[in-house]
Amino acid sequence: MLFGKTLCLYRCYFLMQTLLDELAERTTQTQLGGGQKKIDDQHRKGKLTARERIAYLIDEGKPFVEIGLFTGAGLYAEHGGCPSGGVVVGIGYVSGRQCVIVANDATVKAGAWFPITAKKNLRAQEIAMENRLPIIYLVDSAGVYLPLQDEVFADKEHFGRTFRNNAHLSAMGILQVAAIMGSCVAGGAYLPIMSDEALIVDGTGSIFLAGPYLVKASIGEDVDAETLGGATTHTEISGVVDNKYPDDKSCLDAIKRIFDKIGHQQMAGFDRAEPVMPVKNPNDIYQILPADRVKPYDMGEIVDRLVDNSEFDVYKPGYGQSLLCGYARIDGWAVGIVANQRKVVKAKGRTGPGTPDRPSEMQMGGVIYGDAADKAARFIMNCNQKRIPLVFLQDVSGFMVGSRAEQGGIIKDGAKMVSAMANSVVPKFTVVIGNSYGAGNYAMCGKAYDPRLMLAWPTAQMAVMSGAAAAKTLLQIQVAAQKAKGQPMTSDEEKAQLNKITDQYNSQLSPYYAAARLWVDAIIDPLDTRKILSEGISAANHAPITKPFSVGVIQT
């Protein structure tokens, strides 16, 4: 028995370590952007890379939370790829002020905007608006990537939305500072000039609506880039830009001085005590999550290794046990936690042997039952009443199905939970620990429900349903279709088709598939969860809550 338990713990640890090694390898590769040759080209031009600019700008020793590192992974292969979406985004500190930083990566197609680049830039501006954080743009971009212009130019959430957001941010009183550190052409020229303050690096920075070649083609004028839109032109003749600087570092130093003098604004006032590390060893998380994702485990043991002093005040512990709700602190911040429970518990009201439809024991398995949804709705309301931020820990298979669940009103109970969660006015943060399937993703504050940060552990999986369930469902449809044509599949053909569908579906379950499309903001080591959630709540604390909480009309 002891040997078997030890072997199981080893398998769990080995799997997590393998996933963390993959995360580290992918991180190192992605941070190279367009590759070492392109990085060397930047240096030869006297320019820092996007990541070097950020590293120089941010306060030493302060956290920097990168958003969308794996954006674009596996996309646009026919165009040479677009690592990190060609732009580096994160939440950091400049002169002690928390802010959003956006830096075009000129090593990736000269910083051109792919469709996913636009999505990532809009996400950065969304974070700034939601949290009322100042935003810094380090501009070095060739503009829209023309071969994909139809996917990035004209729609509501395309390139132009960036400038609409520029205007809204400024009107909201949220500071925007732009540094033109390379190319800034065509429509992209509006981004720095619609910011509150615009700086430029002499000799490498340039800004114009049309470059020399287009000017020649359009009006026949021969003009060089520096005369057309260089630093001297725009600081001494047109007045478009405020100040010029001789190199990247002096320009970044100027931004630091700007941020050093920003006035302070009203805060939301979320409660924070002196941070305390968990009593239970956070490293144990690596052994708690089972290698076999259908096996049960106690989510409470995960929570105890994330919260301060391992203290968790559970809300209604004996009711609705498929969801774990309660109050705690994370790095000092008071939070309300809603987490999927996956352990085996004794069914309420049952003390003797069970029957198939009413077992004496129930494996929660990440399924949300009606009573749990009802409990969570009330808990979310309480957190809004108390102005306590919400943290959702997802390992969810979906809502309970079947005739008993339907007759018990599972849809009504689920709707109550979704309504309370969707209308929450306190900030929400979501961490996908394991499964994130179907309507469970929605109820547990998936991306569609505006979490301030959506994080994933390397163990995360996101889809409508599990790979095995989806493959069997799709196979049944194909088998029926073939049979209807009078061409039934053989058992070997069915097996081959099942394997093909399973492999394809499983590839889409990967957290990297989700991260590439910005369904999650970051894939993180579980041990970084406390730090990143703390930074997220700190950011949210800059935005006072002005909207009253109301769930509207719900079925009771």
The pLDDT tens digits of the residues spanning 418-462 come to: 999 999 999 999 999 999 998 999 999 999 999 999 999 999 999
Report residue 216's pLDDT band, with 50, 70 and 90 as the boundaries.
confident
Q: How high is the pLDDT of residue 487?
A: 82
Query: Residue 73's pLDDT is what?
Result: 96
Interacting residues of 6 by C-beta distance below 8 A, sequence separation 6+: none
Terminal alpha carbon distance of the chain: 48
What confidence category does residue 100 fall into, taking pLDDT thresholds of 50, 70 and 90?
very high
Q: Is 298 exposed, middle or buried (0-12, 13-18, 19+ CB in 10 A)?
A: middle
Residue where the block lists tokens 């600087």: 245
pLDDT over 80 at 370, yes or no:
yes
pLDDT at residue 354, rounded to an integer: 43
CA 31 to chain centre: 17
Q: So what's the pLDDT on residue 214?
A: 83
Q: Which of 144, 112, 143, 130 has its CA nearest to residue 34?
A: 112
3-class SS of residue 538: helix
Distance in angstroms (rounded) separating the CA atoms of residues 239 and 190 = 14
Written in H, E and C, the secondary structure of 329-347 is EECCEEEEEEEECCCEEEC
pLDDT score of 215: 85
pLDDT tens string 83-95: 999 999 999 999 9
pLDDT value at 545 more than 70: yes
SS3 state of residue 446: coil
Q: Which residue has the higher pLDDT, 146 or 271?
A: 271
Q: Residues 245-256: what's their mean pLDDT?
A: 98
- pLDDT at position 12: 82
pLDDT (tens digit per residue) in 38-64: 999 999 999 999 999 999 999 999 999
Rounded Cα gap, residues 141 and 181, in angstroms: 9
SS3 percent helix, strand, coil of the chain, rounded to 5, is: 45, 20, 35
* Residue 383 confidence (pLDDT): 98
Q: What is the pLDDT of residue 362?
A: 59
5 versus 254: the higher-pLDDT residue is: 254
Q: Which of 393-407, 480-494, 503-517 has the lowest mean pLDDT?
A: 480-494
**323-335 CB burial, b ≥16 within 10 A, e <16:** bbbbbbbbbebbb
Residue 272 has pLDDT above 50, yes or no: yes
Mean pLDDT of 376-392: 97
Decide if pLDDT at 357 tops 90: no
222 versus 498: the higher-pLDDT residue is 222
The predicted pLDDT at position 317 comes to 95
Place 4 in a pLDDT band, splitting at 50, 70 and 90.
low
Specify the pairing of strand 176-185 against strand 206-208: parallel
Mean pLDDT of the chain: 91
The H-or-E segment that residue 145 falls in is: none
pLDDT greater than 50 at residue 411: yes
Give the DSSP letter of residue 294.
T
Gap between the Cα atoms of 159 and 79, Å rounded: 19
Mean pLDDT on 517-541:
98
Residue 272 is given by DSSP the state B
> What mean pLDDT do residues 240-250 have?
97
Residue 224: predicted pLDDT? 86
Span 525-532, average pLDDT:
98
Sign of the C-alpha dihedral, residues 146, 151, 156, 157? negative
Per-residue confidence (pLDDT) for residue 318, from 0 to 100 = 94
pLDDT tens digit string along 8-24? 666 788 889 999 999 99
Residue 129 has pLDDT above 90, yes or no: yes
* Angstrom distance (rounded) from CA 436 to CA 458: 13
Would you place residue 7 in the very low, low, confident or very high pLDDT band (cuts 50, 70, 90)?
low
Ramachandran region, residue 475 (left: φ > 0; alpha: ψ -120 to 50; beta: rest): alpha
Model pLDDT, residue 279? 98
Looking at residue 363, what is its pLDDT? 62
Q: How far is CA 182 from CA 45, 188, 435, 477, in A?
A: 10, 12, 43, 54
- For the CA atoms of 47, 48, 53, 56, what is the dihedral angle to 10 degrees? -110
pLDDT at 478: 83
**Nearest CA to 128 among 156, 99, 103, 107?**
99
Please name every residue paired with 222 in a beta bridge, in sequence order, or none if there are none: none
Give percent of the chain with pLDDT exceeding 70. Answer: 93
Closest listed residue to residue 404, CA positions, set 353, 357, 356, 344: 357
Tell me the per-residue pLDDT of 458-486, one tens digit each, with 9 for 90 and over: 999 998 766 667 777 777 888 888 888 88
Least confident of 183-197, 227-241, 461-475: 461-475
DSSP 236: I
pLDDT value, residue 355:
42
- The CA distances from residue 434 to 155, 365, 459, 461, 513, in Å, are 34, 11, 5, 6, 15
Three-class SS of residue 485?
coil
- pLDDT recorded at residue 259: 98
